[in-house]
Amino acid sequence: MEGAQPSKTFSAAAKLSRRVDLRGKYRFVPAFRIFQGLGWMDFFAATGVESVLVTAALAAGAVILDIYASPVEARLKADGSPVTLADERAEAIILPLLAPFGLPVVAEEAVAGGQVPEAGRAFFLVDPLDGTKEFLSGNGEFTVNIALIEAGKPVLGVVYAPALGVIYAGARRGQVVQHQVTSWEEITVAPVPARLRVIGSRSHSSDAEQAFVRRLPVGEFLAAGSSLKFCRLAEGGADFYPRLGRTMEWDIAAGHAVLAAAGGSVKTLDGADMVYGKPGFENPAFVATTGFDWNGL
C-alpha cells in the first residue's frame, strides 16, 4: 500500500489537532459546570464537543494510515489482544484534545498500562484503534472510536474508518477525503424485515453466536470488523448483531451511540439496556438491533 510520507501525515494530524482548543474559552470553567443544568444538545452547541471528537478521530486516523502504509509489527498485551504502534500513537493524539473538557477519559491503551481513572457520572471512552486484527490483515475495517458517557448512557459517539474514508457522528455519516469531511448525510435504521440481515464479527465469530441466531428468521448473514457492525445497523445495512464473546466498554460505546441516535438499541440478553462505567469496564453478552423486540420473533 502506498501512503503519505510520515512527516506529511504527522503534519496533517497536527494541523487538525490545532483547530480545536477549548482552553482559551473555558480556561476557568470546568466542563461539568458548563453542562450542569443544560440539556445535552445545549452542551454540544456550547462546547463544540462533537466537533472536537470528530477532529480528534480525524487526527488519529491520519497517524494510523501513515503506519498502515508500512509493514506493521504487533505485540500481545496481558489479556492476549494485539497492540501496535498505531494504537499507541493514535491514543496519544486523542487524549490531549479531550483534556480541556475536564472529564475523565477511559482509554484502552492507558488502561492496559495501569492508568484507570474514576469514571464518574460523565466521562469519555476511547478505543484509538478498534479492530487491530483487521488493521494487521489489511482489510481496512478498523475504526477510531470516541464516546461521551453520561449516567451510564452513550450520549454521543464518533466512529471513523480512515482506510474506508467514512466517519459517523451521531445519526450522520460523512465522507472523508485527505483527512477532511467533505459531506454529511443523515442516517437511520431500516424497518424490520420479514427475514433478518444478521451481521457478525469478521474476526471473532463463534459457534455459540451462530447457534443463537438459528431460532430467528434469518435471510442473510453479513460480516464486518470493529464498530462498523453498529454503523451498518445505523445506516440501514443490517438488522441484528449478537455478541456473546468478551468485549470492553471502549469497544462498543461509540458504535452504540451512533446506533441509538439512528433509532436502534443495544441490550443485554435479559433485555436490559447496556450501561457504561461498570467495574472493570467489561461488557456482558449483548444484542444490537434496529430497535425491535427480538425476543418476540
Query: Any idea which fold 196-296 has?
Result: D-Maltodextrin-Binding Protein; domain 2 (3.40.190)
Numbered ranges of CATH 3.30.540.10 in the chain: 6-186
Q: What is the mean pLDDT of each run of 10 residues along the chain (297 residues)?
A: 37 46 37 49 66 95 94 85 93 95 95 93 96 92 96 96 97 96 97 94 76 91 95 98 95 98 97 96 97 85
Is residue 161 a contact partner of residue 224, using CB atoms and an 8 Å limit? no
Q: Helix count (H) and strand count (E) of the chain?
A: 11, 14
Residues of the chain with CATH 3.40.190.80: 196-296
- Which tens digits make up the pLDDT trace of 6-24? 334 434 444 444 444 443 3
Is residue 78 helix, strand or coil? coil
Topology classification of domain 6-186: Fructose-1,6-Bisphosphatase; Chain A, domain 1 (3.30.540)
pLDDT, tens only, 213-231: 888 999 999 999 999 999 9
Q: Give the start-end residues of each E strand in the chain.
A: 74-76, 82-84, 105-107, 122-130, 143-150, 153-161, 166-169, 172-177, 180-186, 196-201, 218-224, 240-243, 265-268, 286-289
**CA distances, 148 to each of 154, 219, 252 (Å):** 6, 35, 12
